[in-house]
Structure 1
Amino acid sequence: MGFGHTAGMFAEDGAVEIDQVVERFGMSKGQFAETVGLAPETLRRTSRLTAAKTQARITEMLEIIARITGWAGGEKQAMAWYRAEPIPAFGGRTAESLVKDGKATAVRDYLDHLAMGGFA
Structure 2
Amino acid sequence: MGILQYTNDGVFDPNAISVTVGSSPIEVAATIGMTPDEMHRNAATAQKKLRELSEVLNKVSPRFGSGRIAFAWLRSEPLSGFGGLTAMQLLKRGKIEELLDFIDSVDAGVHA
Fold shared by both chains (TM-score > 0.5):
yes
Q: Is the 8 A contact 2:13 2:50 kept in 1?
A: no
In the superposition, the TM-score normalised over structure 1's length comes to 0.82
Q: CA offset at residue 53 of structure 1?
A: 1.6
Question: Number of matched residues?
Answer: 112
Gaps of at least 5 residues in structure 1 are none
Matched residue, 2:101? 109
- 1:72 and 1:24 map into 2 onto residues whose CA distance is 13
Which structure 2 residues correspond to residues 33-112 of structure 1 after superposition, within 5 A? Answer: 33-43=29-39, 45=40, 47-48=41-42, 51-112=43-104
- TM-score, normalization: structure 2? 0.87
Which of the numbers 17, 26, 29 marks the counterpart of 1:30? 26
Structure 2 gaps, min length 5: none
Fraction of identical pairs, as percent: 28
Distance 1:25 1:104 in 2: 19
C-alpha RMSD over aligned residues: 1.7
Q: Helix, strand or coil for the counterpart of 1:23?
A: helix
State the AA in 2 paired with 1:28: S
Q: Which runs of 4+ in 1 moved over 6 A?
A: none
